[in-house]
Amino acid sequence: MPVINRIADFAADMAAWRQHLHTIPELEFECYKTAAFVAERLREFGVDELHEGIATTGMVAIINGRGEGPTIGLRADIDALPIPEETGVDYASTHPGKMHACGHDGHTTMLLGAARYLAETRNFSGRVALIFQPAEEEGGGADVMVREGILDRFDIAEVYALHNAPGHVDGSFYTTPGPLMAAVDTFEIHIQGRGGHGAMPHETLDPVMAACGIAQAIQTIVSRNHYALDDLVVSVTQIHAGTVNNVIPDTAYLNGTVRTFDPAVQRMVMRRMEEIVAGQAASYGVEATLDYVVGYPATINDPAKTEFAAEVAREVSGAGKVVADGGREMGAEDFSYMLEKRPGAYLFIGQGNSAGLHHPKYNFNDEIAPVGASFFARIVEKAQPVA
């Protein structure tokens, strides 16, 4: 079965929803207009229950199937990014400095498309829980929704989600069983030295040299402390110090990101970073404090659910357009919090050639929305057929 005919019939509606959502990008938990639009559509479709205000602007809609059965969870992220848009499209962002540069407008639309079809047809048993989640990019909205109890409250047994992928054939799918995306941690290092005249360095405790030393030494965690075949990234992404060419500043600041899959590796990085920061600070005679913040956990797909989802993807797009074992990557995703609690799968859906995710010229490809909506709908129909 390719794209579901009934969904193809309303592809133009989906493009209109998506383009409207594109005009009103909102950040983190503050997705008020987006949530209002989604709730209005869901009421129109006749969902059986609508629970709003979860994680501030998140919501869960329930559609009852025919007869008893478990509840299957489908999730879309709804938030945007603090990026000024440069697409030039006539439905560009009307919120200055914000844009849907990660395609969450498209994810929201694909789940709305599935909702409309499932509410109309109800060719499944049990229930479906449609999870619209804010704050994926920043804030861990999935974690908040889980902590607010959605999985238990709505008795959700398994969970699925999609993310669009620029540079992959439009309407293709890829995923991988087991670890798919990395855990993401951040670190900040504040260095307190003693500034002075740039010509009199012997009278100072130079925080700039200490910052350079720490940034270099941190790289040895990956190259010298870590088994070469395990995945690990440590990137220093900011160094700030000083204001003018002839003054050695008092302070310096560094931060960066750490990506891991294995909690033991993560603990090793935390320990080595403490040791390196303390040791380097002592050697340069400065004070340095490390603030290491543990972020989203690794996204781990359930192998059986992943194979099932890949089978559904093959039905929708054809076997030649589905890679079920595509390997893992060092990006991160807060759907990991849901996958920690329930079996399920996260898949990527190709959207053809476009600017990359988080790029100011990125735009979601409306052509793939019926494919994603069909995928979600068939997940439900196939997992929970009518008795």
Of 321, 318, 323, the C-alpha closest to 306 is: 323
Closest to Zn ion by CB, 187 or 364: 364
The helix-helix angle for 104-121 and 369-383 (nearest 10°) equals 50
Q: Is 358 annotated as a binding residue?
A: yes
State the nearest-atom distance from the C-beta of 330 to Zn ion, in Å.
14
Give bridge partners of residue 295 from the DSSP assignment.
none
**CA–CA separation, 55 vs 30, rounded Å?**
10
Q: Is 104 annotated as a binding residue?
A: yes
Among 94-102, 141-149, 201-209, 368-376, the segment contacting Zn ion (CB under 5 A): 94-102
State the nearest-atom distance from the C-beta of 216 to Zn ion, in Å.
30
State the nearest-atom distance from the C-beta of 385 to Zn ion, in Å.
31
Query: Exposure pattern of 29-58 as b/e (b: 16+ CB <10 Å)?
Result: bebebbbebbbebbeebebeeeebebbbbb
State the nearest-atom distance from the C-beta of 76 to Zn ion, in Å.
10
Phi, psi for residue 89 in degrees, rounded to 5: -75, 155
Count the residues of the shown chain that bind Zn ion, applying the rule CB under 5 A. 1
Closest to Zn ion by CB, 77 or 170: 77
Closest to Zn ion by CB, 183 or 383: 183
Q: Which of 14, 61, 83, 102 binds Zn ion (CB under 5 A)?
A: 102
Placement of tokens 């859906």 in the chain: 349
Closest to Zn ion by CB, 102 or 165: 102
Q: Is 86 annotated as a binding residue?
A: no
Q: Which residue is nearest to Zn ion (CB)?
A: 102
What tokens were used for 27? 């950040």
- Cβ burial of 338 (10 Å; 0-12, 13-18, 19+) is buried
Closest to Zn ion by CB, 107 or 226: 107
Which stretches of the chain bind Zn ion, using CB under 5 A? 102
Binding-site entries for Mn(2+)? 102, 104, 137, 163, 358
For the annotated binding site, the residues are: 102, 104, 137, 163, 358
